[in-house]
């Protein structure tokens, strides 16, 4: 007696245990390209409804004997694939068609012979080598069906991932603009010219005389163009005097805040509390508001930042010294910040020290794994003290690698409190003159001496304009994460709106008041989206790597390395999430230009995993990886080079590790995304 075929399947897919049900009435076939398909039978009532087509598969229905009909079709010479259709358990409105392909990952460094044995056991053909331990494969006539094959493979001890490839139709989810009582109060995102409610004064409004339609940053239009609120992979480092991280705007879904850091005492305490000279306690609200303007999460009232999905790295800088400033920007650099916004400045117009100036240049140059880190600085707000005379903005805002942001208001006028001068790069909407303030998060103390997490419609200054510009930059990087710092500057320079009198701008389109103009998020995001990322890929210096240009010998002064795996993918960025742009083979020699996050940069837009590169000495001899032994009873393994990063594992005393690199703060990288504190490792 034939065994009953399984109609349900449960297996891990995308890291989640999923259950699928086989359709009792639908299946799909794929015909060989170029061959004539069988003609659909016609009834006396006219033409039959054409079968549903899903990317080369033809879906057919059978109220009974589905398996027999599918077997009959599989036997036809013009049918390449015949398969059952599956549905997510309990959701039978969407078909999932197994294509016959699977993705398989073996445990790291699994022996080649064992990998081959598994592939031969299941009669699988390799269609892509993803890395030395991962493959895309296709089933053959001798293989189990793709679903059964994945379930059997997942039971193998040397396999960590085995997933079938499904084909289905996408859902075109329309973007839903934010809603809430105070969404209109955020005129800086979209200015309709109408009156708006004041969030912290009940039943009060700002009248229409304070607004000019279109005097805004065009952020809401940029969201509509993107179809979302930006990428959650973008991280904005906000450098300020303290943060109320439990505020709904900053807390978001619980994962918005990451890598908190106090630059003065090198701790994770970013509290907004401060102690006054008379011994009393107070609260700095400035940092909370700045962070919320840049990336505040959407809440029930409709209040949100320019890039609501972006994550926030809160860096408390409540004292200005070379050491503290360096610590703040170094933390942003080491923890993967994509953007820095800083609305702080010295109390008097003094320049940055040469040490700090040079270090900020290093951060701008090396950030974002060599693409360059955009840093937005507030021009300053005390212009009446300079008798309204244009003056060179000072300290952070004067740094040549930064973006100096001045202020415009809700009437598209220059805010007369803002510093201005040759350093101005652009202006962004905020309060000033007859305009109104920004509605956003704030923090205060209540009568019990506790933090009161509230909102205000009175935030402003270049302090607000600057994080708004940073949030727009986050939307640009969401559209195109491969933009370099040069690209970002070029886009922002070209896409601003010229406001104010025409004679305010010189022949180069620059104004000492407005910079190159008022920021326009929609234009900037569109231009970023339209730019192609990356650069031509260079080939290795030997072997048969699949690069696309003529091989170039490594510069004599550049460190070199040898590929020690069978295959090694070259990525456009420093993680496996980036696109594959080339492939290297065992023995290929490459330039080792820069190392970070477990990857070597081997060329412009070319990165390879450091785990599969053996560094070479200048004479061509291999350089042995350093070894170390754990000296503490237990040692936490972190995802990055500080205790503020997530714990990803733990080692016991005596454990021996390989040391691939050491960060500037003394942490050792012992694997991809695995770091330990150097004081607890004794090198052997």
- CB-based contacts of 358: which residues, under 8 Å, 6+ apart? none
Phi and psi (nearest 5°) for 292? -70, -40
> Both tokens of residue 519?
């920021």
Select the more confidently predicted residue: 341 or 446. Answer: 341
CA distance linking residue 160 with residue 156, whole number of Å: 8
Q: Token digits for 113?
A: 């012979």
Q: Which two tokens stand for residue 683?
A: 């090198």
Q: Which residue has the higher pLDDT, 577 or 215?
A: 215
Q: What share of the chain is helix, strand, coil (3-state, %, to 5)?
A: 20, 30, 50
- Helix (H, G, I), strand (E, B), or coil: what is residue 70? helix
What is the spatial distance between Cα 384 and Cα 245, in angstroms, rounded to a whole number?
A: 34
- Residue 173 — pLDDT band, cuts 50, 70, 90? very low
Mean pLDDT of 161-183: 76
Alpha-carbon span 522 to 633, nearest angstrom: 55
Give the whole-angstrom CA distance, residue 637 versus residue 643.
Answer: 9
pLDDT of residue 33: 63
Between 552 and 250, name the one with better pLDDT.
250
Give the tens place of pLDDT for each residue, 229-254.
Answer: 999 999 999 999 999 999 999 999 88
Q: How far apart (Å, rounded) are the C-alpha atoms in residues 114 and 132?
A: 13
**Whether residue 172 has pLDDT greater than 60:** no
The dihedral sign for the CA sequence 676, 680, 683, 684: negative
What count of Cα atoms within 13 Å lies in the side-chain half-sphere of residue 491?
27
Q: What is the C-alpha separation between 552 and 643, in angstroms, rounded?
A: 41
164: pLDDT strictly greater than 70: yes
pLDDT attached to residue 289: 96
Distance between CA atoms of 295 and 235, rounded to whole angstroms? 9
Model confidence at 599, in pLDDT bands (50, 70, 90)?
Answer: confident
Per-residue pLDDT for 535 more than 80? no
Give one DSSP letter per residue of 623-648, joined into a string: PPPEEEEE-SSEEEEESSSSTTSPEE
3-state secondary structure of 285: coil
Q: What are the beta bridge partners of residue 657? A: 628
Q: 612 or 5: whose pLDDT is higher?
A: 612
Q: Calculate mean pLDDT across residues 654-676.
A: 77
Alpha helices (H) in 296-439, listed in sequence order: 322-334, 354-366
pLDDT surpasses 50 at 205: yes
- How far is it, in rounded angstroms, from Cα 234 to Cα 336? 9
Q: Which two tokens stand for residue 146?
A: 């793709």
Q: What is the mean pLDDT of the chain?
A: 84
Return the HEC string of 147-191.
Answer: HHHHHHHCCCCCEEEEEEEEECCCCCCCCCCCCCCCCCCCCCCCC
139-151 tens-digit pLDDT? 888 888 899 999 9
Look at residue 393 and give its three-state secondary structure: coil
The two beta strands, 589-591 and 647-652, are unpaired
CA-based nearest residue to 504, from 383, 575, 412: 412
Which has the closest alpha carbon to 363: 399, 312, 311, 404? 399
Higher pLDDT, 625 or 257: 257
The string of DSSP letters for 296-329 reads PPP-TTS---SSTTSEEEEEE--S--HHHHHHHH
Lowest-confidence range among 116-125, 215-224, 549-558? Answer: 549-558
pLDDT at 215 over 70: yes
Identify the residue whose tokens are 């509230």: 454
- Residue 348: DSSP 8-state: S
User: Whose CA is closest to 596, among 330, 258, 328, 369?
Assistant: 369
Which whole number is the average pLDDT over 77-102?
A: 82
- Model confidence at 48: pLDDT above 70: no
For residue 319, pLDDT beyond 60: yes
In this prediction, residue 42 carries a pLDDT of 43
As given in the structure block, the two tokens for residue 343 are 């609305």
> Model confidence at 75, in pLDDT bands (50, 70, 90)?
confident
Residue 6: its pLDDT value, please?
66
The neighbour count for residue 676, using CB atoms within 10 Å, is 26
Q: Which of 111-115, 661-665, 669-673 has the lowest mean pLDDT?
A: 661-665
Phi/psi-derived region of residue 34, left when phi > 0, alpha when psi is between -120 and 50, beta in every other case: left
Helix axes of 521-530 and 485-495: crossing angle, nearest 10 degrees: 130
The values of phi and psi at residue 288, to 5°, are -60, -45
Confidence (pTM): 0.58
Q: What is the pLDDT of residue 544?
A: 33
How far apart are the C-alpha atoms of 223 and 438, rounded to whole Å? Answer: 19
| 468-501 pLDDT tens trace | 999 999 999 999 999 999 899 999 999 999 999 9
Report yes or no: 630 and 651 within 8 Å, Cβ to Cβ: yes
Q: Is the dihedral of CA 639, 641, 647, 650 positive or negative?
A: positive
Residue 40 has pLDDT above 70, yes or no: no
In whole angstroms, how far apart are CA 559 and each of 178, 600, 606? 51, 11, 16
In this prediction, residue 377 carries a pLDDT of 96
Section 286-310 average pLDDT: 95
Q: Of all helices (H) and strands (E), which one includes residue 73?
A: helix 66-74
Task: From residue 535, give the alpha-carbon distance in Å to each of 372, 494, 581.
Answer: 15, 22, 10
Provide, rounded to the nearest whole percent, the portion of the chain with pLDDT above 70.
87
Most confident by average pLDDT, 215-219, 507-511, 591-595: 215-219
According to DSSP, residue 254 is labeled T
Phi, psi of 92 (to 5 degrees): -95, 20
Give CA–CA dist 408/558, Å, rounded: 48
Q: Give pLDDT tens digits for 383-418.
A: 654 455 555 577 899 898 999 999 999 999 999 889
User: CB neighbours (10 Å) of residue 11?
Assistant: 19
Q: What does the pLDDT look like over 322-372, one tens digit per residue?
A: 889 999 999 999 999 999 999 998 877 778 888 888 899 999 999 998 999
Q: What is the pLDDT of residue 624?
A: 53
Top pLDDT among 169 and 121 is at 121
Instruction: Please give the residue that has the higher pLDDT: either 677 or 340.
Output: 340
Q: From CA 534, how far away is CA 552, in angstroms rounded?
A: 19
Q: Name 428's bridge partners.
A: 407
Helix (H, G, I), strand (E, B) or coil at 406: strand
Rounded Cα distance, 29 and 149, in Å: 19
Contact 218, 280 (CB under 8 A): no
**533: pLDDT strictly greater than 70:** no
- Of the listed ranges 168-177, 298-307, 347-356, 401-410, the least confidently predicted one is 168-177
| Nearest Cα residue to 97 out of 60, 54, 149 | 54
Is the pLDDT at 524 greater than 80? The verdict is: yes
**366-379 as b/e, with b when 16 or more CB fall inside 10 Å?**
ebbbbbbbbbbbbb
- Per-residue pLDDT at 618: 55
- Residues 619-641 pLDDT 10s: 555 555 678 888 888 888 888 77
pLDDT at 522 over 50: yes
DSSP secondary-structure letter at 292? H
Distance CA 349, CA 341 (A): 20
Average pLDDT over every residue of 555-579: 75
Q: How far is CA 529 from CA 236, 270, 468, in A?
A: 20, 35, 20
pLDDT tops 90 at residue 58: no
Lowest mean per-residue pLDDT among 71-75, 262-266, 297-301: 71-75
């Amino acid at each position: 007696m034939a065994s009953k075929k399984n109609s349900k399947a449960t297996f891990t897919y995308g890291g989640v245990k999923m259950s699928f049900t086989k359709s009792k009435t639908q299946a799909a076939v794929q015909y060989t390209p170029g061959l004539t398909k069988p003609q659909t039978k016609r009834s006396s009532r006219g033409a039959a409804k054409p079968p549903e087509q899903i990317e080369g598969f033809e879906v057919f229905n059978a109220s009974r004997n589905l398996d027999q009909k599918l077997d009959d079709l599989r036997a036809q010479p013009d049918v390449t694939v015949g398969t059952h259709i599956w549905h997510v358990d309990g959701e039978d409105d969407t078909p999932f068609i197994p294509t016959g392909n699977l993705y398989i990952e073996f445990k790291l460094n699994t022996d080649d012979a064992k990998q081959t044995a598994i592939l031969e056991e299941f009669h699988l053909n390799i269609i892509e080598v993803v890395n030395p331990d991962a493959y895309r494969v296709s089933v053959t006539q001798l293989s189990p069906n793709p679903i059964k094959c994945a379930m059997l493979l997942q039971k193998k001890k040397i396999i960590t991932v085995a997933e079938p490839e499904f084909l289905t139709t996408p859902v075109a989810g329309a973007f839903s603009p934010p809603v809430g009582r105070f969404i209109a109060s955020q005129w800086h995102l979209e200015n309709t010219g109408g009156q708006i409610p004041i969030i912290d004064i009940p039943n009060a409004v700002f009248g229409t005389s304070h607004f000019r339609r279109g005097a805004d940053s065009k952020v809401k239009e940029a969201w509509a163009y993107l179809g979302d609120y930006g990428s959650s992979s973008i991280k904005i480092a906000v450098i300020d005097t303290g943060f109320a991280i439990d505020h709904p705007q900053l807390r978001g879904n619980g994962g918005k805040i990451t890598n908190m850091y106090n630059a003065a005492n090198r701790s994770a305490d970013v509290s907004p509390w401060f102690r006054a000279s008379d011994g009393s306690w107070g609260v700095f609200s400035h940092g909370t508001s700045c962070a919320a303007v840049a990336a505040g999460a959407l809440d029930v009232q409709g209040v949100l930042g320019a890039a609501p999905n972006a994550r926030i790295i809160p860096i408390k800088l409540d004292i200005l010294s070379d050491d503290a400033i360096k610590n703040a920007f170094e933390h942003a650099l080491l923890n993967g910040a994509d953007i820095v916004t800083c609305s702080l400045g010295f109390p008097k117009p003094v320049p940055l020290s040469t040490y700090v100036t040079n270090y900020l240049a290093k951060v701008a140059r090396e950030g974002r794994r060599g693409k360059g880190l955009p840093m937005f600085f507030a021009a300053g707000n005390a212009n009446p003290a300079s008798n309204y005379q244009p003056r060179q903005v000072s300290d952070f805002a004067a740094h040549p690698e930064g973006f100096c942001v001045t202020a415009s208001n809700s009437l598209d006028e220059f805010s007369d409190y803002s510093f201005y001068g040759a350093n101005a790069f652009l202006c962004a909407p905020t309060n000033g003159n007859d305009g109104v303030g920004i509605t956003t998060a704030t923090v205060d103390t209540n009568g019990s001496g506790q933090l009161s997490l509230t909102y205000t419609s009175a935030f402003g200054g270049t302090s607000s304009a600057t994080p708004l510009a940073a949030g727009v930059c986050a939307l640009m990087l969401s559209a195109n994460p491969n933009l370099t710092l040069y690209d970002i500057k070029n886009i922002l320079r070209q896409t601003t709106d010229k406001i104010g009198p025409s004679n305010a701008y010189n022949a180069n389109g620059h104004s000492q008041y407005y910079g190159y103009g008022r920021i326009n998020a929609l234009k900037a995001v569109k231009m970023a989206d339209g730019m192609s990322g990356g650069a031509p890929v260079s080939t290795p210096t030997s072997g048969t790597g699949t690069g696309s240009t003529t091989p170039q010998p490594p510069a004599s002064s550049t460190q070199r390395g040898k590929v020690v795996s069978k295959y090694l993918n070259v990525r456009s960025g420093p993680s496996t999430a980036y696109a594959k742009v080339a492939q290297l083979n065992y023995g290929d020699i490459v330039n080792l230009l820069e190392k970070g996050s477990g990857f070597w940069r081997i060329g412009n837009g070319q990165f390879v995993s450091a785990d599969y590169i053996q560094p070479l000495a200048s004479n061509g001899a291999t350089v042995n990886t350093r070894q170390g032994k754990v000296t503490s009873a237990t040692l936490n393994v972190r995802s990055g080079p500080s205790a503020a990063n997530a714990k990803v594992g733990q080692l016991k005393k005596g454990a021996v590790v390989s040391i691939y690199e050491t960060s500037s703060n003394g942490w050792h990288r012992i694997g991809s995304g695995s770091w330990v504190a150097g004081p607890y490792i004794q090198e052997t």
